[in-house]
Amino acid sequence: MKEKVVLAYSGGLDTTALIPWLKETFDYEVICCCVNCGQGNELDGLDERAKLSGASKLYIEDIVDDFCDNYVMPCVQAGAVYEHKYLLGTSMARPAIAKKLVEIARKENAVAICHGATGKGNDQIRFELGIKALAPDIKIIAPWRMTDVWTMQSREDEIAFCEAHGIHLPFDASHSYSRDRNLWHISHEGLELEDPSQAPNYDNMLVLGVTPEKAPDKDTEVTMTFEAGVPKTLNGKEMKVSEIITELNRLGGENGIGIIDIVENRVVGMKSRGVYETPGGTILMAAHEQLEELILDRETMEAKKKLGSQLAQVVYEGKWFTPLREAIQAFVTSTQQYVTGEVKFKLYKGNIIKAGTTSPYSLYNESLASFTTGDMYDHHDADGFITLFGLPLKVRAMKMQEAEKNNNK
């Protein structure tokens, strides 16, 4: 009986060419596994394509709700944003996919897992750290790093390889953007984006929405409610997190929300440029932050902001299955106990405009915040506070004056 390999299968040209290559190079039985994180119509026709290419079996595993509830929401609650812009769309999905690949490998008694990530990108790290953390005994095959046996260097090479093995597929050699899509976002790399001096060709690129210039001239009103940091309703309708993100994607896309053009620092040491569309995610993170600022105290917010930035880096680097991620998430979860309430905002030409926030746990006190003197605040108390708060500054200034006088003598 042949040994089995589980192939992370997207249905694209790269992973389709890998099926006969794995059989020919290692004499493996190839089990394909496509993990659905919300790719939409990219899943159409995969079963026939995988079987036609020589796979003995194809798993299509739907983890959309798991992805949203257990990977996306912890990052939303933490406010995890990499390098101030990137909302971690691919980064959050990879550990979820790695976990499912390991589950299928165990079920099939496979000896290896293969992925099609290149040797220049971040995904090879994210896949492999996840697999190592969950299944250290399973071999990992990364063909793009195996240049002694993987000799294909272009789409033309892959198409010729497939045709030589009797596999005729609806792919051509024309180059297009390199994209990654899930329910949270879609990324675009390649073509004019490889030159940072060039503007993105948004008319040819965007999938989830339009640019702010092409958005309607009328705003869209949105109301959301949260319970313990988790979104529960959207415009009065109770929904699952995945359903809320889906609807926010539609609303955000229509209004030009969540398009970023970023030059980011990859884990492997190079800079890369990409355009990310994250309409629903951008709205969800803004709505969550809008509610949090009413509820969390200053010191907790400051600590959470630092840890959120650290979590973004941890997730970006593929270190999801680590004690550090678990510890940061535990802190964040504790801060969400009272993040309950309602947020209202308007979407207009790429902008998210606040329109009111309420919460039973709000720390906002009108008597304290108002310019009118209330019972809880005595202006005279500020005298002593400022004296003590500014004491280090005053002492330093006095010492500097004293030293200056001595130097002048």
Annotated active-site positions, please? 14, 94, 123, 178
Q: Whole-angstrom Cα distance, residue 21 to residue 27?
A: 9
Nearest to 29 by CA among 57, 67, 63, 65: 57
Q: Whole-angstrom Cα distance, residue 298 to residue 331?
A: 16
Q: Whole-angstrom Cα distance, residue 27 to residue 50?
A: 17
Q: Whole-angstrom Cα distance, residue 279 to residue 184?
A: 8
In this structure, what DSSP letter does residue 352 have?
A: E
Measured from the Cβ of residue 164, the count of other Cβ atoms closer than 10 Å reads 9
Q: Whole-angstrom Cα distance, residue 243 to residue 130?
A: 27
- 326 CB burial (10 A radius; 0-12, 13-18, 19+): exposed
Residue 62's SS3 state is strand
Q: Whole-angstrom Cα distance, residue 166 to residue 84?
A: 48
Give the residue carrying structure tokens 């629903």. 280
Q: Which residues of 298-321 are buried (b: 16+ CB within 10 A; e: fewer)?
A: eeeeeebeebbbebbebbbbbbbb
Residue 226, amino acid: F
Q: Whole-angstrom Cα distance, residue 177 to residue 168?
A: 23
> CB–CB of 360/341 below 8 Å?
yes
Nearest to 258 by CA among 277, 238, 242, 273: 277
Measured from the Cβ of residue 289, the count of other Cβ atoms closer than 10 Å reads 13
Residue 271's SS3 state is strand
Residue 34's SS3 state is strand
Measured from the Cβ of residue 66, the count of other Cβ atoms closer than 10 Å reads 17
Q: Whole-angstrom Cα distance, residue 371 to residue 388?
A: 24
